[in-house]
Amino acid sequence: MKVFSSSISFESKKENHLIDISIEVEREVRKSKIQEGVIFLFAVGSTCALTTIEFEPGLQKDFPEFLDKIIPAGKYHHDLKWHDGNGHSHVRASLLKPDLFIPFSKGELQTGQWQQIVFIESDNKPRTRKVEIKILGE
């Protein structure tokens, strides 16, 4: 059993930017030389999250529009105190959660063919972001 530690960094655009990180995740699995195991991804920060989605143009609009609908920008206790206008960003991130793991076998991710790994920027301004990575396996 081995532990491989790594991270990926990138620039996000503002709010509701979905970033497909599947290629980067596959690359980290390859770098680890681990064949059978699990890759653990963790979005650092309280206004972003991770999930999987079929990364096609329609859903890249549908999913953010859903978030806009159930958690609209507006009046939050957080904003009254901190005046950064991103109360909704925090609520969205806490709902979606920052952690996501993907199993892999023979060095290949076991996601479905139409199932990509996405980082969701929920903050109301562009950010430099980091996803911490641990790979456990043999």
Contact residues: a copy of itself, CB under 8 A: 1-3, 5, 36-38, 40, 42, 44-46, 51-54, 56-59, 61-63, 65-66, 70-71, 76-82, 87, 90-91, 93-103, 105, 110-112, 114-115, 118, 132-134, 136-138
Closest approach, Cβ 24 to a copy of itself, in A, equals: 16
Please, which residue, 111 or 124, has the CB nearer to a copy of itself?
Answer: 111
- Count CB-CB contacts under 10 A for residue 10: 14
Distance CA 23, CA 116 (A): 9
Closest approach, Cβ 110 to a copy of itself, in A, equals: 4
Q: Do the beta carbons of residue 107 and residue 4 sit within 8 Å?
A: no
Distance CA 77, CA 18 (A): 26
Closest approach, Cβ 13 to a copy of itself, in A, equals: 19
Please, which residue, 23 or 80, has the CB nearer to a copy of itself?
Answer: 80
Q: Do the beta carbons of residue 132 and residue 10 sit within 8 Å?
A: no
What does the angle CA 6 – CA 14 – CA 112 come to, to the nearest 5 degrees? 55
Please, which residue, 23 or 58, has the CB nearer to a copy of itself?
Answer: 58
